[in-house]
Amino acid sequence: MAYENLTYAETEARVLELIDAHGVPDLNARSWAQYEDTVRAYAASGRLPGERDEPPASFYKARAAFIAISLRTLDQWLQGGELDIQAVRGAVRTLEMYPPKEHDTPPAQTSGRAGHQRQLPANTKARTAARLEKAFSDWRQRLFTSVRRLGRCVDAIAVCLSVGCRPHELAEGVHVRVDGRILVIRFAGSKVNERRQTGQPHATVFIEYDETDPVVAYLAQSVPTGEITVRCDEYRLRYALKCAARDAFGDAGEGVSPYVARHLVAASLSDGDASVRAITLGHASTRTFKTYGRGCKGQGPKVLDAEGDRPVRNPDRSPEVDSEPAADMEAPQPAYAP
pLDDT in tens, the chain (338 residues): 455 566 777 777 777 778 777 777 778 888 888 898 888 888 888 777 766 667 777 788 888 888 888 888 888 887 777 777 788 888 888 888 877 754 444 444 444 444 444 343 344 777 888 888 888 888 999 999 999 999 989 999 999 999 999 999 999 999 999 988 899 999 998 888 888 788 899 999 999 998 899 999 999 988 877 889 999 988 889 889 989 999 999 888 888 889 888 888 888 887 778 889 889 988 888 876 666 766 677 778 899 999 999 988 865 444 443 333 333 333 444 444 43
Alpha-carbon span 301 to 205, nearest angstrom:
11
pLDDT for 335 equals 43
Alpha-carbon span 48 to 62, nearest angstrom:
8
Alpha-carbon span 102 to 183, nearest angstrom:
45
pLDDT for 83 equals 76
Alpha-carbon span 109 to 46, nearest angstrom:
19
Cα torsion 79, 328, 334, 87 to 10°: value is -10
Among the listed residues 175, 190, 173, 165, the one whose alpha carbon sits nearest the alpha carbon of residue 241? 165
Same domain, 296 and 148: yes
pLDDT for 6 equals 67
Same domain, 225 and 269: yes
Same domain, 135 and 104: no
Beta strands 202-208; 174-179: pairing state = unpaired
User: Domain count of the chain?
Assistant: 2
Alpha-carbon span 330 to 31, nearest angstrom:
26
Alpha-carbon span 130 to 264, nearest angstrom:
8
Q: Which domain holds residue 165?
A: 125-308
pLDDT for 134 equals 85
Same domain, 244 and 284: yes
Same domain, 134 and 283: yes
Residues near 199 by beta carbon (within 8 Å), at least 6 away in sequence: 79, 80, 189, 190, 191, 192, 193, 282, 283, 284, 310
Position 218 in a domain: yes
Position 136 in a domain: yes
Position 314 in a domain: no
pLDDT for 121 equals 38
